[in-house]
Structure 1
Amino acid sequence: MSESTQAWVVAGVRAVLGAHTQAQDAGRTDEIVALYTPDAVLEIPGMDPVEGRDAIHAAFKGWEPVQPQLHLVTNTVVTSTGEDEARALSDVVFLQRGEAGWAIGVVGHYDDTLRRQDGTWLLHRRKTTYQA
């Protein structure tokens, strides 16, 4: 894969991850779900896998923020298996603002597989792990 193609893949993947984070923290469920393939899967510790856009929609609807929150997604490394599939490994810190101010709720990792469909990068699988 050429260097310019690799850069294009990385930019597309990072745009999806950023859009997901911004929409999630603002509680814009429909925007989040639009970033997933129809057969996408979410794997979250302590839960059965969430499969398909309808189930993903229901899950994120239930997780809409009730107080200010931020997901800080950082240290993302993107590897590409071709022009139409990529993997992104990221660290994530979840913060919530309560009466005492901002507090760290969770520290973990995202292991994302993305696919390009009809020229658009979409999340196909997100596996979340938490740090103890």
Structure 2
Amino acid sequence: MSDSTAAWVATGVRAVIGAHTQAQDAGRTDDVVALYTPDAVLELPGTDPIEGHDALREAFKGWAPTQPQQHLVGNTVVTPTTDDGATAVSDVVFFQRGDTGWAVQVVGHYEDTFRHTDGTWLIQRRVTTYQA
């Protein structure tokens, strides 16, 4: 894979991760779900996998913000795997603002699998782990 193709993949994948984070923090459920493939799987600790757009929509509606929140995602490493696939690993810190100000709620890690479909990079699988 050429350097320019690898850069194109990394740019597209990072754009999806950023769009997901901003849409989730703003409570724009449909925008979040649109970033996943129809057969996508979301894995979170302590729960059964969430599979497909309908289940994802229901889950993200349930997680809609009730107070200001911010996911900070960084240290993302993108690896192209095929002509239409890539993986990315990222660190995430989740903050919420309460009566006493902003506080860290969760520190974790995303392992994402992406597929390029119809000119768009989409999340096919996200595995989230939390740090103790």
**Superposition TM-score, scaled by structure 2 size:** 0.99
* 1:51-109 C-alpha deviation (Å, 9 max, x unpaired): 00100000000000000000000000000112210000000000000000000000010
Residue type of the partner of 1:125?
R
Residue type of the partner of 1:34?
A
* Number of aligned residue pairs: 132
> In structure 2, the residue corresponding to 1:23 is in which secondary structure?
helix
User: Matches of 2:88 and 2:57 in 1, distance apart?
Assistant: 22
| Identical-pair percentage | 73
User: Matches of 1:83 and 1:90 in 2, distance apart?
Assistant: 22
Task: Return 5+ residue gaps in structure 2 as ranges.
Answer: none
Cα RMSD for the two superposed structures: 0.4
User: Matches of 1:65 and 1:21 in 2, distance apart?
Assistant: 12
- Aligned residue number for residue 79 of structure 1: 79
User: Matches of 1:83 and 1:104 in 2, distance apart?
Assistant: 38
2:54 paired with 1:68: no
Is the contact made by 1:5 and 1:83 (CA closer than 8 Å) also made in structure 2?
no
- Aligned residue number for residue 93 of structure 1: 93
Residue type of the partner of 2:7?
A
User: Matches of 2:68 and 2:46 in 1, distance apart?
Assistant: 24
Deviates more, 1:88-97 or 1:74-83: 74-83
- Aligned residue number for residue 125 of structure 1: 125
> In structure 1, the residue corresponding to 2:108 is in which secondary structure?
strand
**Superposition TM-score, scaled by structure 1 size:** 0.99
Is the contact made by 1:9 and 1:83 (CA closer than 8 Å) also made in structure 2?
no
Runs of 4+ in structure 1 over 4 Å off = none
